[in-house]
Structure 1
Amino acid sequence: MKAFRLEELEAQRAANQGAYLQFLRERNMSVGLYALDAGQADPQQPHGQDEVYFVVSGRASVTVGDETETVARGSVVYVPAGVVHRFHHITEDLKVLVVFSPPES
């Protein structure tokens, strides 16, 4: 079994001084923790994999293609492969679990 604690993942991510920490990679998927501070810009580019975002904490807007939604703790967002997307108007520090399928390259 592989089990993870959010606090430990966040500490690892912060120690590496990056917005993203991939902590699980398997044949058919990968999972990471993505964090953006309030007011920070999201520099993402479209990915070659389908993605699911689960908002762990924070508040922001997310635009996927030409649709925009407000997200907060508990929100789940699906992003098809190749679609332009980004978080913006981040009003509370944002922490998001990201699942890529197939695994992010």
Structure 2
Amino acid sequence: MMKKQVTFLSNIDSVSQVNDKYVEILRSDSMSVGLYQLFKTDIDNQLPHTEDEAYFVLSGSAKIEVEGKISNVRSGDVIYVAANQKHHFFDMKEDLKVLVFFAPAEYSTLM
């Protein structure tokens, strides 16, 4: 019987981002998880991803546009974006911090 590895990150605030808005914190073949942070003055210029993704808003508030549909988001919200859909956050009312879940792992379908 194969043992499964468990990874535990006790404090998301301990993850440091070096010169980037996104840092991957967990990865397996079937999924990846990262922390995405936008300051209220930032511009979110991300491109569509080749994998489905879900965002969990840890803190902050903003708007998100997904394929032309605009929604308000705030702490505690979950947003689903299907693969290859155009999307971006904008109009940050305060700094925005989100957990990003990709399935399968981000960019793994390109390999």
User: So what's the TM-score if we normalise by structure 1?
Assistant: 0.93
After TM superposition, the structure 1 = structure 2 runs for residues 54-73 of structure 1, keeping only pairs within 5 Å, are 54-73=56-75
* Alignment coverage as a number of residue pairs: 101
SS of the residue aligned with 2:19? coil
After TM superposition, the structure 1 = structure 2 runs for residues 24-103 of structure 1, keeping only pairs within 5 Å, are 24-103=26-105
Q: Match for 2:40: what amino acid?
A: A
* 1:57, distance to aligned residue in structure 2 (A): 0.2
* 1:88, distance to aligned residue in structure 2 (A): 0.3
> Which 4+ residue blocks in structure 1 deviate beyond 6 angstroms?
none
SS of the residue aligned with 2:41? coil
1:3 is aligned to 2:8: yes
Identity %: 41
* 1:48, distance to aligned residue in structure 2 (A): 0.2
Question: C-alpha offsets along residues 48-82 of structure 1, whole Å, 9 cap, x if unaligned?
Answer: 00000000000100011121110010010000000
Supply the RMSD in Å over aligned alpha carbons.
Answer: 0.7
Q: Which runs of 5+ in 2 are unaligned?
A: 1-5
Which whole-Å CA distance do the structure 1 matches of 2:59 and 2:48 have between them?
A: 23
After TM superposition, the structure 1 = structure 2 runs for residues 14-33 of structure 1, keeping only pairs within 5 Å, are 16-33=18-35
Which whole-Å CA distance do the structure 2 matches of 1:89 and 1:59 have between them?
A: 9
Which whole-Å CA distance do the structure 1 matches of 2:41 and 2:20 have between them?
A: 16
* 1:99, distance to aligned residue in structure 2 (A): 0.2
Which whole-Å CA distance do the structure 1 matches of 2:41 and 2:76 have between them?
A: 20
User: So what's the TM-score if we normalise by structure 2?
Assistant: 0.88
More helix, by proportion? 1
